[in-house]
Amino acid sequence: MNHIVLGYDGSDFSVQALDWALDEAELRKLPLTVSHAWQWPYGQADEEAKAHLRKAAEHVLWHGADCARSSSSGIRVETDLFEGPAAHRLVELSADAALVVVGSRGLSALPRAVVGSVAGYVAAHAECPVIVVRGPGPLPTVTNPGPIVVSGTEPAASVLEFAFAEAELRHLPVSAPVDLGEWTARHPRTRLEASEGHEHPTLMVVGREHAARFSLADFLLQHAPCPVAVVGG
């Protein structure tokens, strides 16, 4: 639980994820690990060909880390270059992470893909909460941010704890479809809002089991108007 992990592949979608991961690292006062995975996709290859691909991967990783360092207010930025599947590496890194942040699609995602295979796999298997940031390019500037919205009729305690902690960090209210007297007592600085639909939520939070049962990919990651946090039980 000692760092924020960002999955970065140089795509426009990972640029939004980088912005969000930086915010989380700065709010939580934790270092950021920028992770990039690469692998030779064409079967057998000589070492020279693989060396060229590795050099390109190093450049992608360097670019992401450089953007993070130049945009942050002084947090420590570390790098992780991995040869192999990105999804498996991010799940591995989640074991000692406070949070993993990924874009909803990567460079290899198909235009009609509901959610990138990396994002979907990491959201389902990570050992810590995962935030999937939807959309390409830099995050838009929001002058009047909406609440942290808890999805589901019976959210687990871990989901509520994450939502309230995130709301407290960002000085935002929480919207949830349950009576949260216990939680508002534990987080007196966080306001509770009615659970009616919000046009511009800042973040939606859903439990991992609830997300799987109701098709996270089809329902949330394809249609949510904001980043989605998936939290285990």
Does the domain at 4-133 match CATH 3.40.50.620? Answer given as yes
**H or E element that contains 53:** helix 47-71
Cα–Cα distance measured from residue 151 to residue 207, given in angstroms and rounded to the nearest whole number? 8
Copy the structure tokens of residue 81.
Answer: 């270059």
Q: Which one has a higher pLDDT value, 75 or 210?
A: 75
Select, from the ranges 7-21, 97-111, 135-149, the one with the highest average predicted confidence (pLDDT).
7-21
The yes-or-no verdict on residue 179 having pLDDT over 60 is yes
Cα–Cα distance measured from residue 165 to residue 180, given in angstroms and rounded to the nearest whole number? 14
Q: Which one has a higher pLDDT value, 224 or 169?
A: 169
The yes-or-no verdict on residue 219 having pLDDT over 70 is no
SS3 for 130? strand
Cα–Cα distance measured from residue 210 to residue 95, given in angstroms and rounded to the nearest whole number? 21
Confidence bin at 186 (pLDDT 50/70/90): confident
The yes-or-no verdict on residue 109 having pLDDT over 60 is no
Strands (E) across the chain are located at 4-7, 32-38, 77-83, 99-103, 130-133, 148-150, 174-175, 192-193, 203-207, 228-231
Question: Can you give the pLDDT at residue 198?
Answer: 60
SS3 for 231? strand
Question: Can you give the pLDDT at residue 28?
Answer: 96
Q: Where are the domains of the chain?
A: 4-133, 148-231
The yes-or-no verdict on residue 212 having pLDDT over 60 is no
Confidence bin at 159 (pLDDT 50/70/90): very high
Average pLDDT, the chain: 84
Q: What is the pLDDT of residues 30-79, one digit of tens each?
A: 999 999 999 877 767 678 878 888 999 999 999 999 999 999 888 999 99
Q: What is the pLDDT of residues 130-156, one digit of tens each?
A: 999 987 666 777 778 889 999 877 888
> pTM for the complete prediction?
0.89
Name the residue with tokens 């800042």: 202
Question: Can you give the pLDDT at residue 152?
Answer: 75
Q: Is 81 exposed, middle or buried (0-12, 13-18, 19+ CB in 10 A)?
A: middle
